[in-house]
Amino acid sequence: MNNKVIIAAAIFLLVFTSTGYTQSSSIGLKVSTLGAGLEVERSFTESIGVRIGANYFPYDHTDTLDDIEYNVDLKLMSVSALLDWHPFKGSFRISGGVLYNGNEIEADAKPSVSYTIGDETYDADDVGTLKGKIDFNEIAPYLGLGWDTSFGKDNGFGFLFELGAIYQGSPDVDLSADGLLANDQTFQNNLAKEEKNLQSDIDDYKFYPVISLGFSYRF
């Protein structure tokens, strides 16, 4: 067992240190479809690097869906761990890894008139405040390609560009209400129908596109 450990350690050292490659690090700032982001990258060989990043962006919006007006609160929040392969030992890279996906959409509406939910129309007091939430798989694989013009340099600024996609799975929809009929079984059945309709409308959005631009500084 000890010999195997020694051999494995020797192989690791051979790959990452005996090449004579001077390892470097970079810090990057970017904007993307995941929000505003900060990432730290470490290059280990002429073609391999590792990145850890975080993205965040909040946004409020009013929208109408299925004849119901919602106040929508969008939160983009993710943390990524990615492996970069630079096949030509230059700026171009192919990246893969995983993200903690905290992206979610919350919505609420308090009607002043009647609401049609499912197969029936309800008065405002019967519905109360209608709340909805859409979230996704927390662990999401990522695959993309891009450019980091600082890669391979000893130091200095570089330009970042990336295209990719996250597999987030089918969105999960939850609807609830706190009005006079909140505990009524017929109302709950119609609310479940409304939830199912919304789920069906967005069920195909399993992939989330990623487009990012930014700059980095290598040291």
- pLDDT tens digit sequence for 35-71: 999 999 999 999 999 999 999 999 998 877 666 677 8
Residue 136, phi then psi, degrees to nearest 5 = -140, 175
Give the number of residues written for the chain. 219
Binned at pLDDT 50, 70 and 90, residue 18 comes out as very low
Tell me, what's the pLDDT at 25? 94
Domain membership flag for residue 201: yes
| Domain housing 154 | 23-218
- pLDDT tens digit sequence for 96-133: 999 999 999 998 988 777 888 888 888 888 988 889 99
- pLDDT tens digit sequence for 199-216: 999 999 999 999 999 999
Cα–Cα distance for residue pair 21/2, rounded to 1 Å: 28
Domain membership flag for residue 18: no
Tell me, what's the pLDDT at 3? 63
Q: Name the domain count of the chain.
A: 1
Q: What is the CATH number of the domain that holds 40?
A: 2.40.160.170
Domain membership flag for residue 13: no
Task: Report the mean per-residue pLDDT for the chain.
Answer: 89
Domain membership flag for residue 10: no
Residue 58, phi then psi, degrees to nearest 5 = -100, 150
218: pLDDT strictly greater than 90? yes
Give me Rg for the CA atoms of the chain.
Answer: 24
